[in-house]
Amino acid sequence: MAGMKQIKWKIKSVGNIKKMTRALEVVSTVKLQKVKKETEQYRDFLVEFLKIAQVINTKVDLFAKEDIQTEWKTLLVVLSTDKWLCWSINAKLFKSIHATYKLTKETVDIYAVWKKAQQYFAREWYNVIGTMTNKETDAPWDMSGVFSLLQHGIEDERYTSIAICFNYFRNPISQIPVELQLMPLDKKTISQFLKQIGDIDLESYMTENLEKKDLMLEPSAWFLRKEFQSQFMEHLVYGALLQNKAGEFASRMIAMKSAKDNAWEIIDKLTLQYNKARQWAITQEISEIVSAKIALED
């Protein structure tokens, strides 16, 4: 009977795990749908922003590159997760970055967005210059710290290259590690990224009516270029955050669904084991009764 009690206790424990993973799956699904809706809204905003940018670009080269007088140095802003239960999405991204920069890590600075990236790259002896944590009092999309870091890095000319590394959300079961260059802004790289996030063609957003009119640029073309590059960089970072968050919730949803299905399988096996143990106990009890009856008759 002790074995049956143990099996019964296991069934109850696995049942509790099944309920918990089911609840986490539902929460992740709801959050994923919310982020996907915000991603669509972000895409609509980016389209309108590009329409204006393309008109201005006919008068001012918004993607003009400037020479930076500094030693070769790269800043990587790495988007990870703040919680567990979705390690696969982090592992793919971290391995991709490490494979690219493991031989030149002394020339790379890492800014980790959330603690999983900070833990990994500190363990691999990268120069982690800062970490953004997701406190309960902060807004979930508050990236002001990252924007400030990027702005200071550009103004002080500390880096020759700045890139953001994140997981691009293709579908709930596929997230692709992406490294998007933010500085210097490259028109070809930006065009490829915009096509990835929603088939946005950078060359197609040209408003003919506005293009024919004279534009007044205030206070100067140089200031306008700087302001555009700063705002465009912030929009790209925000888009990368949405993509990474969508991938995180999708990965957690899939992981919790697999855990729930595995719990069902374990419960079925334990139930079968419990029924066999109970049948054996009943058979043994009947055998003992029959044996006792035969012994009394003799």
Q: Residue 236: left if φ>0, alpha if ψ -120 to 50, beta else—which one? A: alpha
Q: Mean pLDDT in the chain?
A: 80
* 226 plus 259 within the same structural domain: no
Pairing mode, if any, of strands 108-113 and 127-132?
A: parallel
Q: What CATH number is associated with residue 12?
A: 1.10.287.80
pLDDT of residue 71: 64
Q: Indicate if the pLDDT at residue 268 is higher than 70.
A: yes
Q: Kindly state whether residues 211 and 267 are assigned to the same domain.
A: no
Quote the percentage of the chain above a pLDDT of 90: 10
Both 212 and 275 in a single domain?
A: no
When pLDDT is averaged across residues 177-198 and rounded to a whole number, the result is 75
Are 218 and 182 members of one domain?
yes
Give me the pLDDT at residue 110, please.
Answer: 92
- The pLDDT confidence band at residue 4, using thresholds 50, 70 and 90, is confident
What CATH number is associated with residue 246? Answer: 3.40.1380.10
pLDDT at 135 over 60: no
Least confident segment among 54-63, 160-169, 204-213: 204-213
Rounded to an integer, the average pLDDT of 213-232 is: 74
Residue 113 reports pLDDT greater than 50: yes
| Same domain? 170 vs 50 | yes
Amino acid type, 173: I
What average pLDDT does this structure show over 177-184?
A: 84
User: Which class for 153: exposed (0-12), middle (13-18), buried (19 or more C-beta within 10 A)?
Assistant: buried
* pLDDT value, residue 222: 73
Average pLDDT over residues 153-176: 83
Our count of domains for the chain comes to 2
235 pLDDT above the threshold of 60:
yes
Give the tens place of pLDDT for each residue, 23-34: 988 998 998 888
Q: Are residues 148 and 138 in the same domain?
A: yes
> Residue 12, CB half-sphere, CA atoms under 13 Å: how many?
6
Residue 207: pLDDT over 70? no
For residues 161 and 61, the model is more confident at 161
State residue 158's pLDDT score. 80
Per the structure, the complete domain to which residue 275 belongs is given by: 2-24+254-297
pLDDT, residue 199, reads 64
Residues 84 and 219 in one domain: yes
Q: For residue 138, is pLDDT > 50?
A: no
pLDDT given at position 130: 85
Residue 212: pLDDT band by 50, 70, 90 thresholds? Answer: low
Same domain? 47 vs 17:
no
CA distance 264 to 1: 24
Q: Which strands, in side-by-side order, build the sheet including 161-171?
A: 127-132, 108-113, 74-79, 161-171, 174-183
pLDDT reported for residue 291: 82
Are residues 87 and 162 located together in one domain of the fold? yes
Long-range contacts of the stretch 204-211 (C-beta < 8 A, 24+): 205/47, 205/50, 205/51, 205/53, 205/54, 206/54, 206/55, 206/58, 207/51, 207/54, 207/55, 210/55, 211/55, 211/58
Average pLDDT over residues 254-278: 89
Q: Based on the fold, state whether residues 260 and 248 are members of the same structural domain.
A: no
Asked whether residue 29 falls in the same domain as residue 166, the answer is yes
% the chain with pLDDT above 70 = 84
Given a cut of 60, is residue 70 above it in pLDDT? no
Exposure letters 24-34 (e unless 16+ CB within 10 A, then b)? bbeebbebbee
pLDDT at 136 over 50: no
pLDDT at 137: 40
Tokens coding 20: 């918990």
Do 101 and 171 share a domain, yes or no?
yes
2 has a pLDDT exceeding 60: no
More confident: 211 or 115: 115
CA distance 91 to 74: 22
